[in-house]
Amino acid sequence: MQTYKVDLSEQNEVYENEPQNINEQNIKVKRNIKAAGLFVASLFFVVVTVCVAVIGCNYIVNRNFRETFYNVSSLKVDNKIRIIQISDLHSCSFGKENYKLIDRVKKLKPDVILYTGDCFDSKDKSEEEIVSLCKELAPVAPSYYIYGNNEVERLYDIPLIQEELDKKYGYGDEREPQKLLEEKDLFEETLEKTGVEVLKNECDTITVGSTNIDVFGVLTSNPSSFWTYAGETFNDYAYKNTNNLKITAIHEPFVFEEYEYEFWGDVIVCGHTHGGTVRLPVLGPLYTHEGGLFPERNGDFVYGRYSVSGKPMIVSSGMESNNLLRINNQPELVIIDVNRF
Amino acid sequence: MYTSILKKLPVFVAVILLVAAVVIMYFRSKNVTRSEFIKFIKNAKYVRAWVFVVVFVMTTVFAIFNHIHSKQSVYAVVALNYSEASQAQNSNGTRYNMAEITCDEVIKKAIDMGAFEGVTVSDLKKCLAVYPYVQGDVRDESEYHISTEFIVEYYASKDTQHLDAENVIKLITSAYKEYYIEKYTDNFSLSTDGKKPDFDSMEYMDIVTYFEKETSSILNYLYSMAQKSPSFVTANNASFNSIAGKVFQFKETQIDQNLRSLIMQNGIVRDSTGYVDRLSYQNKNTDFDRRKNAISFDLCNQAIAMYSEEMTRVVLVPTWDEVGKYYMGRTKVGIDELSVKATDFSNRVASYEKEIMYNNLIIDKMNGSDAGYEKNQSADDLVESIYESIRNFEKEAISAGREYSNHRMNQCIAVSMSGNSLFGELKTILLFAMFAYVSVILFTISRKFPKRV
């Protein structure tokens, strides 16, 4: 049997020191965990503070609207024409019964007022507020209302896409697009009583000073149904009375993304996109339902001024003010001045 | 200029903070040796939670002020695009004055356009500054520079801080463009009346005269534009001469041949007696002038016959040219003057006789007029359609003129806006945060230096 001599004194010293090292290590680990926790907590605090501050500030800012002025040049006008576009209000109100909005629109003295859809929500909320707004503004200038997807959802039983429309109004040669346009709803009748004209794939001509203006409002703004249901009237509008100033009002701008056409109008106004809801510095609009993330990078029309067949197209970011996630994107009232220079 | 100074002010404050920290450190480091100083710097803790919190709070406060400040200032560059601008001239050759960009008239216009409330012209004027984009140096000939680009700067004051800075500058530049074009560029108003006359109360032959006057006015405008640029073609492939050709053709066929002949052949008249009386009175006056001119013609002839032969020859008169050289010039003698006058009188007599004969022809037709309702109706329809056509020609002419002007002036004035972008703001904030962090860390380190050796 082999025996080993062990120097226990040394070992004992090691064993005696071990608990101390373990303690130190534990303390170090605890300290590191504490530091990491503190760092994470501070980071969380900073992130939460920034988020709350950004959302809070934007909520306060969004309670008011800003005015965005655009200048458009056309040789067809003799005198300056001012168009005011109210879009995507979603039953929101600026002041009691929209008195702030009404006051500003009256002071800005428009020649034409265009409501480019989604002025009330498809769910729950009533359309009384928008009717009262229309009633107040109708005496100010000739006013036109174009339905957006929310109005269509509320007033029609079906979405206005080719497939669904064809089921109701026939296929091929038997199709009767006129029937869709002739259908009158209660909202339209109410609006017309206030003096606002609802344009459903049709054109109306007015004279401001010595300038004749054709306003065309699109109902079937979905690219699938646009040409089938609005094509004929649109071509009439585009190629007759070519000396008149042509204003095309449409809720969704997707038709212009989908089709190339030689003349869409001298001025085109749209809404729907809410300017991408969140607008990030440098990166631009964050998201739209149709375009997904960073839609402008895919060539989508999201917000501001674009050129369509060499003519200006204005996409409004809308006036919805109760969306908490609407960041760096204040509700806007669009004012378009059409000059001859 | 003020805006750019103010823009840099917050960063300037951060730099002062840093300099103060360095100075304090310098004074405290006098109590330590170089190696100790390096040891202090090396061993210092750079990651401290409280430092981050302090820097974060400082940066947040700074960011809020910076954002509020940046929202209140913006500038735009106004560029003159026409050829005369390089000679410091307006497009009509008068002297260019950059101060007009912020003149009272322009500011008033901008206030009206934007419906700015609670702001006067003088309030807004105080917030605006204009200066050339590139400043030359008048002391050195090689540095002379005629600027065609100008910066318009806006910085909100207490009275105007409720306005959106970007909108203010946008409307100021837009109002200036409008003002400039009204004042210095081509005038597109024709000498036509514009208002529709009451044709029902006018005699048909007077309507013909009115139409002739209107078409002549359009033709004069088109010919004058064609003289300026005979080769200009509009987007619809029309030139001034081609439009003038159409108008001339229309005048000849529709007004002279159709309307006039319809009226004359059928003796269409609203008030036959009144109109015939008026023409007879006109004829009397014209005949008086005719006779006066005929007598003057005879007198001239008699005077010419009385001249002696010597006086009819050419006379040479000594004279000198532009460079002062003498030469013998041929000059008219009295008989030339008389013969010119005699021809003139003779022409006038012929013209008066033609007018009288024409009026007599109308009187003959109108006297025995039995044109019924139908004839009158067809004349009225023709009058309406001619009026509409003339208005369309007028629009076409003006539109071509404007297109030419836009083409020549290249939109005259271009404006580009330059605000404070959010990205720019973030850059400034990041810079501030960096300065703030370095300053606080330096303060912390310097606190550890012994006060006395």
pLDDT band at A1 (very low <50, low <70, confident <90, very high): very low
Calpha distance B275→B260 (Å, rounded): 16
Let me know if residue B330 belongs to a domain: yes
Calpha distance A98→A135 (Å, rounded): 12
Calpha distance A308→B293 (Å, rounded): 68
With beta carbons less than 8 A apart as the criterion, state whether A243 and A180 touch.
no
Q: How many Cα neighbours within 13 Å face the side chain of B118?
A: 7
Q: What are A91-113's pLDDT values in tens digits?
A: 899 998 899 999 999 999 999 99
Let me know if residue B28 belongs to a domain: yes
pLDDT of residue B311: 64
Let me know if residue B263 belongs to a domain: yes
Residue B126 and residue B110 share a domain: yes
Subunit contact B53:A282, Cβ cutoff 8 A: no
Mutate to test the interface with B, among A48, A57, A68, A69 (most CBs of B within 10 A): A69
Q: A34 at the B interface (CB within 8 A)?
A: no
Strand partners, A284: A280
In chain B, which residue's Cα lies nearest the Cα of A283?
B423
Q: A310 at the B interface (CB within 8 A)?
A: no
Residue A119 and residue A58 share a domain: no
pLDDT band at A191 (very low <50, low <70, confident <90, very high): very high
Mutate to test the interface with A, among B178, B187, B403, B409 (most CBs of A within 10 A): B178
**What three-state secondary structure class fits B419?**
coil
Residue B151 and residue B23 share a domain: yes
Residue B301 and residue B279 share a domain: yes
Residue B220 and residue B282 share a domain: no
Candidate from A39, A69, A282 with C-beta closest to B167: A69
List Cβ neighbours of B311 (8 Å cut-off, separation of 6 or more): B333, B334, B335
Calpha distance A206→A212 (Å, rounded): 6
Residue B176 and residue B229 share a domain: no
Residue B137 and residue B206 share a domain: no
Q: Which residue has the higher pLDDT, B272 or B251?
A: B251
Distance from CA of B240 to the nearest CA of A (A): 16
Q: Which residue has the higher pLDDT, A20 or A302?
A: A302
Residue A301 and residue A152 share a domain: yes
Query: Domain boundary residue among B307, B337, B368?
Result: B368
| Residue ranges of B 381-410 with Cβ closer than 8 A to chain A | 392, 395, 398-399, 402-403, 406
Query: Domain boundary residue among A47, A62, A77?
Result: A62
Counted domains in chain B: 3
Q: Is the pLDDT of residue B6 over 80?
A: no
Query: Domain boundary residue among A21, A37, A62?
Result: A62
Q: Is the pLDDT of residue A317 over 60?
A: yes
DSSP string, B124-192: HHHTEEEEESS---TTSGGG----SEEEEEEE--TTTTTS-HHHHHHHHHHHHHHHHHHHHS-----SS
Q: What are A248-284's pLDDT values in tens digits?
A: 999 999 999 888 888 899 999 999 999 998 988 778 8
Q: Is the pLDDT of residue A117 over 80?
A: yes
Residue B241 and residue B305 share a domain: no
Residue B293 is part of which domain span?
270-368
Annotate chain A with three-state secondary structure: CCCCCCCHHHHHHHHHHHHHHHHHHHHHHHHHHHHHHHHHHHHHHHHHHHHHHHHHHHHHHHCCCEEEEEEEECCCCCCCEEEEEECCCCCCCCCHHHHHHHHHHHHHCCCEEEECCCCCCCCCCCCHHHHHHHHHHCCCCCEEECCCHHHHHHHCCCCCCHHHHHHHHCCHHHCCHHHHHHCCCHHHHHHHHHCEEECCCEEEEEEECCEEEEEEECCCCCHHHHHHHHHHHHHHHHHCCCCCEEEEECCCCHHHHHCCCCCCCCEEEECCCHHHCEEECCCEECEECCCEECHHHHCCCCCEEEEECCEEEEECCCCCCCCCCCECCCCEEEEEEEECC
Residue A71 and residue A56 share a domain: no
- We report the CATH number of the domain holding residue A157 as 3.60.21.10
Residue A86 and residue A145 share a domain: yes
Residue A261 and residue A126 share a domain: yes
Q: Which residue has the higher pLDDT, B19 or A70?
A: A70
Residue A164 and residue A110 share a domain: yes
Q: Which residue has the higher pLDDT, A105 or B40?
A: A105
Residue A75 and residue A199 share a domain: yes
With beta carbons less than 8 A apart as the criterion, state whether A285 and A317 touch.
no
Residue A80 and residue A56 share a domain: no
Q: How many CB atoms lie within 10 A of CB A274?
A: 28
Calpha distance B280→B273 (Å, rounded): 10
Q: What are B386-397's pLDDT values in tens digits?
A: 998 998 888 888
Let me know if residue B453 belongs to a domain: no
Residue A184 and residue A57 share a domain: no
| Residue ranges of B 182-211 with Cβ closer than 8 A to chain A | 194
| Structure tokens given for B380 | 């009225």
Residue B256 and residue B397 share a domain: yes
Furthest C-alpha separation in chain B: 133
Q: What are B197-228's pLDDT values in tens digits?
A: 888 888 888 899 999 998 998 999 899 888 88
Counted domains in chain A: 2
Calpha distance A101→A120 (Å, rounded): 15
Residue B142 and residue B67 share a domain: yes
Subunit contact B423:A281, Cβ cutoff 8 A: yes
Distance from CA of A67 to the nearest CA of B (A): 8
The whole-chain average pLDDT of chain A stands at 86
Chain A positions in Cβ-Cβ contact with residue B171 (cut-off 8 Å): 69
pLDDT band at B72 (very low <50, low <70, confident <90, very high): confident
Distances (CA, A) of B37 to A220, A290, B26, B174: 77, 62, 10, 62
Residue A26 and residue A2 share a domain: yes
Residue B103 and residue B40 share a domain: yes
Chain A positions in Cβ-Cβ contact with residue B49 (cut-off 8 Å): 38-39, 42
Mean pLDDT for B314-323 is 80
Q: B89 at the A interface (CB within 8 A)?
A: no
Residue A21 is part of which domain span?
1-62
ipTM over 0.85? The verdict is: no
Q: Dihedral through CA B157, CA B163, CA B166, CA B169, nearest 10?
A: -70
pLDDT of residue B324: 83
Mean pLDDT for A82-96 is 92
Let me know if residue B308 belongs to a domain: yes
Residue B160 and residue B69 share a domain: yes
Kindly state the percentage of chain B with pLDDT values over 70.
89
Candidate from B113, B171, B411 with C-beta closest to A341: B411
Q: Which residue has the higher pLDDT, A170 or A305?
A: A305
- We report the CATH number of the domain holding residue B319 as 1.10.287
Let me know if residue B361 belongs to a domain: yes
The whole-chain average pLDDT of chain B stands at 83
pLDDT of residue B349: 95
Q: Tell me which residue has tokens 């226990």.
A: A8
Residue A152 and residue A28 share a domain: no
Q: Is the pLDDT of residue B5 over 60?
A: no
Chain A positions in Cβ-Cβ contact with residue B170 (cut-off 8 Å): 69, 71
Q: Is the pLDDT of residue A300 over 70?
A: yes
Subunit contact B403:A75, Cβ cutoff 8 A: yes
Let me know if residue B452 belongs to a domain: no
Residue B122 and residue B87 share a domain: yes
Q: Which residue has the higher pLDDT, B157 or B192?
A: B157
Calpha distance B390→A289 (Å, rounded): 52
Calpha distance B258→B246 (Å, rounded): 16
Query: Domain boundary residue among A20, A36, A62?
Result: A62
Residue A136 and residue A27 share a domain: no
